[in-house]
Amino acid sequence: MFAARQQGVVFLETVLSTRPSKAGHCAIECVPMSMSKARDVPGYFQESLLASGDEWSQHRKIIKTARKSEAVAPTEGDVTDQDRNHFQARQAIRRGGFRNTMTAKLPYFHVWFDHHGGMGHVIEAPEKFPAWFGREVVAGVLDLPPTVYRKPRRLKETHDQRCDRADEWKKQFGWTKFDWTKLLEEK
């Protein structure tokens, strides 16, 4: 959808709590931008993630979640168990990408640069990690003031106004060509 408009896009995923009792949920944000800015985003996030958190943490600061290249199956002949294990591990990573590289049941931040993946960060101290971390980095790339990402303006609108705004957005982006929910109705 954004590629048709010559735009890049970044998806930000933040999970600050995995406990059901806290009623937390995953938040995924989509930020379109020019292609030239989108090319710079991975470097900005790498620097920001390296600077975040404690110096002595249990997990790596950056977890690359891009889909790995195809694993080459070892040929029979001089095949050791280590070769087979390495091949199976590469296959598992290639299949899962994000899910097989991130730590399960821990809060995390993940940024997708394209459909192949991006980079993630395990949040070891959720109370210290800002909920606006991803928006802050993107705002730095786009030269936006802190008011845009820290305390965004909340729109006070009726349900009808919200529906009208959504319809306007659908027309602006040509949503009907990309609406995957129609596939669900066909089945």
pLDDT, tens digit, 9 for 90 and up, residues 58-70:
777 788 887 654 4
User: Residue 134, CB half-sphere, CA atoms under 13 Å: how many?
Assistant: 24
What is the rounded CA–CA span in Å between residue 54 and residue 39? Answer: 28
Q: Looking at the predicted structure, is the pLDDT value of residue 71 above 60?
A: no
Q: Please tell me the pTM assigned to this model.
A: 0.69
DSSP letter, residue 104:
T
- The mean pLDDT value of the chain amounts to 76
Q: Looking at the predicted structure, is the pLDDT value of residue 35 above 70?
A: yes
What is the rounded CA–CA span in Å between residue 160 and residue 173? Answer: 20
Q: What is the pLDDT at residue 141?
A: 92
Dig out the tokens for 52 from the structure.
């975040």
Q: What is the pLDDT at residue 61?
A: 79
Q: How confident is the model at residue 79 (pLDDT cuts 50, 70, 90)?
A: low
pLDDT in tens, 112-164: 888 777 888 888 888 888 888 999 999 999 998 887 777 666 778 888 998 99
Q: What is the pLDDT at residue 92?
A: 47
